[in-house]
A and B are shown apart, each in its own frame.
Chain A
Amino acid sequence: MATAAAVGVSLSAPIRTVPVAKAELLGRKPVRIGQMLPLQRMAAAAGRGRVVVVKGTQSSTPPDISEKVEESIKKAEEACAGDAVSGECAAAWDEVEELSAAASHAREALKANSDPLENYCKDNPEADECRTYDN
């Protein structure tokens, strides 16, 4: 059942995939944050006699930056395991912050570049398709 659900084929029992944030996947106590409340409700509704397949939320960050972020978090946790107030610990978490910021910028850049009309108009603002009437 689970494999068929992953492919998206509908069987007798309606299957619903619920995108769940990572915290819930790892069984951590979900924190009351805006984006999680509706998901909790969905998961509860889905649980009533239906098969639920959970998949991690899809991040649109380029994979290489995403990997760097993951690695840096692991390294930071290691660095701070010894001494939580050392310079190395702070520097390691600073690196995590820097890479997370870079990842978020990369995500935005991807979103910004995804519209072919916008990209064309950036280079050719005088073209007929790109004319805007502000006044």
Chain B
Amino acid sequence: MASCTIHTAPYSCSISRPAAKAFSLGFHQRHQQLIFFSSGRRSAVVCSAEKTVVIGLAADSGCGKSTFMRRLTSVFGGAAEPPRGGNPDSNTLISDTTTVICLDDYHSLDRTGRKEKGVTALDPRANDFDLMYEQVKAIKDGVAVEKPIYNHVTGLLDPPELIKPPKILVIEGLHPMYDSRVRDLLDFSIYLDISNEVKFAWKIQRDMAERGHSLESIKASIEARKPDFDAYIDPQKQYADAVIEVLPTQLIPDDDEGKVLRVRLIMKEGVKRFAPIYLFDEGSTISWIPCGRKLTCSYPGIKFFYGPETYFSNEVSVVEMDGKFDRLDELIYVESHLSNLSTKFYGEVTQQMLKHSDFPGSNNGTGLFQTIVGLKIRDLYEQIVAERAAASAAAAKV
């Protein structure tokens, strides 16, 4: 392999960030860039064999430890763990192929600072988008960075940790698509849209066991964050390539437990390297109840919908599932009727769901669509790798 030569301007080391510690420049990956000379003139043609693929995930519920992350990293193989030997309160997760970064680490104001200014963490004023852009760009180009750590327990900004460029970088948090520069770096973006009723039900389940919390305090907490959420986080939906929308079920009247859910996978059309999944016939509108003669389901059953729609003036395809899975054969039956799943073998979606049957959402559309999106991302990654290999092979022949 040719030796590495740095051809882009290196990142200036004069970034002074929170702990007043100068960041190290980092190092390039081996075999990362090849430079070709043509017709005696220096024309730098970069053929990166291993440029990092960047995925953005917008979600309200914390960082890196969410179920979606665990499913996603599991599709790529291996369990993602916090970095060993580092800060125990680090939000980063690292597996063999994937690194998950929590965007809370780019808070410019710590908890005290935010309280003084009277801003929530949702407010862009509490986040350093310049640093976010610089570091994500650096990692994408193969340069390791010293990323700050936001400690959720103490509410302080801890000394930075070293992040080496992985094959796949996932940035998870409240604002992955807020800044347009960061948005352009993303190879794929996902928005997890939980409706207010479901959010309320989930937060009750999460917080009722806590001393000090009551129904009123949970409600007040959601209400107080809502204005900032609607103003800054919600609009990112329109930029996402895939939106997973979680709504209360329509199968059970007046359900407030949030155990049976209606989940919609909204996929943007025309996204490079992403072929939306479909039911039976691409482009048509299908309403499907799989339960019947061949498949028996228990109450309340399962209902599917597929069709083209318009979402924030984008052309999208929507696959919707309402209900829950009770048995393995329901899951495999549904999988066998969905198309364009990008599975490597028949039953892969079912296998992945079973692997994590203890995760929340494993028996409804949230788990199903999260797993499918994970497979789609794997497919996107493999396409990028294949393209790059083809490009460098073609360039080598020249």
Q: Which residues of B contact A78 (CB under 8 A)?
A: none
Contact B61 A87 (CB under 8 A): no
Contact B225 A97 (CB under 8 A): yes
- Asked if A105 is an interface residue, CB under 8 A from chain B, the answer is yes
- B92-151 contacts to A, CB under 8 A, are 111, 114-115, 117-122
Q: Which residues of A contact B257 (CB under 8 A)?
A: 33-34
Q: Which residues of B contact A32 (CB under 8 A)?
A: 256
- In Å, the complex CA distance between A33 and B220 comes to 18
A contact residues, range: 35 or more
Residue of A at shortest CB range from B121? A94
- Asked if B300 is an interface residue, CB under 8 A from chain A, the answer is no
What's the nearest-Cβ distance from chain B to residue A3, in Å? 23
- B178-231 contacts to A, CB under 8 A, are 203-215, 217, 220-221, 223-225, 227-228
- A57-83 contacts to B, CB under 8 A, are 57, 59, 61, 65-66, 68-71, 73-74, 76-77, 80
- In Å, the complex CA distance between A70 and B122 comes to 22
Q: Which residues of A contact B121 (CB under 8 A)?
A: 94, 98
Contact B115 A91 (CB under 8 A): yes
B contact residues, range: 35 or more
In the complex where A69-B213, A101-B61, A102-B153 touch, is A94 in contact with B208 (Cβ < 8 A)?
no
Residue of B at shortest CB range from A93? B224
Contact B225 A22 (CB under 8 A): no
Contact A33 B210 (CB under 8 A): no
**Contact pick for A22, options B114, B203, B206, B214, CB 8 Å:** B214
Contact A23 B211 (CB under 8 A): no
Contact A90 B62 (CB under 8 A): no
- Asked if A92 is an interface residue, CB under 8 A from chain B, the answer is yes
- In Å, the complex CA distance between A76 and B120 comes to 13
Residue of B at shortest CB range from A74? B212
In the complex where A33-B204, A91-B115 touch, is A59 in contact with B210 (Cβ < 8 A)?
yes
Q: Which residues of A contact B221 (CB under 8 A)?
A: 76, 93-94, 96-97, 100
What's the nearest-Cβ distance from chain A to residue B90, in Å? 12
Contact B153 A28 (CB under 8 A): no
- Asked if B155 is an interface residue, CB under 8 A from chain A, the answer is yes
- Asked if A17 is an interface residue, CB under 8 A from chain B, the answer is no
- Asked if B259 is an interface residue, CB under 8 A from chain A, the answer is yes
In the complex where A80-B220, A98-B111 touch, is A90 in contact with B212 (Cβ < 8 A)?
no
**Contact pick for A73, options B204, B213, B215, B223, CB 8 Å:** B213
Residue of B at shortest CB range from A96? B221
- Asked if A86 is an interface residue, CB under 8 A from chain B, the answer is yes
Contact A22 B211 (CB under 8 A): yes
Interface string of B246-258 (1 = CB under 8 A from A): 0000000000110
- A25-70 contacts to B, CB under 8 A, are 26, 28, 31-35, 56-57, 59, 61, 65-66, 68-70
Contact A61 B62 (CB under 8 A): no
Contact B220 A93 (CB under 8 A): yes
Q: Which residues of B contact A101 (CB under 8 A)?
A: 61-62, 152
- In Å, the complex CA distance between A86 and B120 comes to 11
Contact B114 A94 (CB under 8 A): yes
**Contact pick for B211, options A70, A86, A88, CB 8 Å:** A70
**Contact pick for A94, options B65, B206, B210, B225, CB 8 Å:** B225
Contact A86 B118 (CB under 8 A): yes
Q: Which residues of B contact A70 (CB under 8 A)?
A: 210-212
- B228-272 contacts to A, CB under 8 A, are 228, 256-257, 259
Contact B215 A23 (CB under 8 A): yes
- In Å, the complex CA distance between A93 and B118 comes to 11
Contact A34 B259 (CB under 8 A): yes
Interface string of A90-128 (1 = CB under 8 A from B): 111111111011111110100000000000001000000
Q: Which residues of B contact A102 (CB under 8 A)?
A: 152-153
On A, residues with C-beta under 8 Å from B are: 21-23, 26, 28, 31-35, 56-57, 59, 61, 65-66, 68-71, 73-74, 76-77, 80, 86-98, 100-106, 108, 122
On B, residues with C-beta under 8 Å from A are: 61-62, 65, 81, 111, 114-115, 117-122, 152-153, 155, 203-215, 217, 220-221, 223-225, 227-228, 256-257, 259
* CB-defined A-B contacts under 8 Å, sample of 12: A22-B211, A22-B214, A56-B211, A59-B210, A69-B211, A73-B217, A89-B224, A90-B120, A91-B114, A100-B221, A102-B152, A104-B206
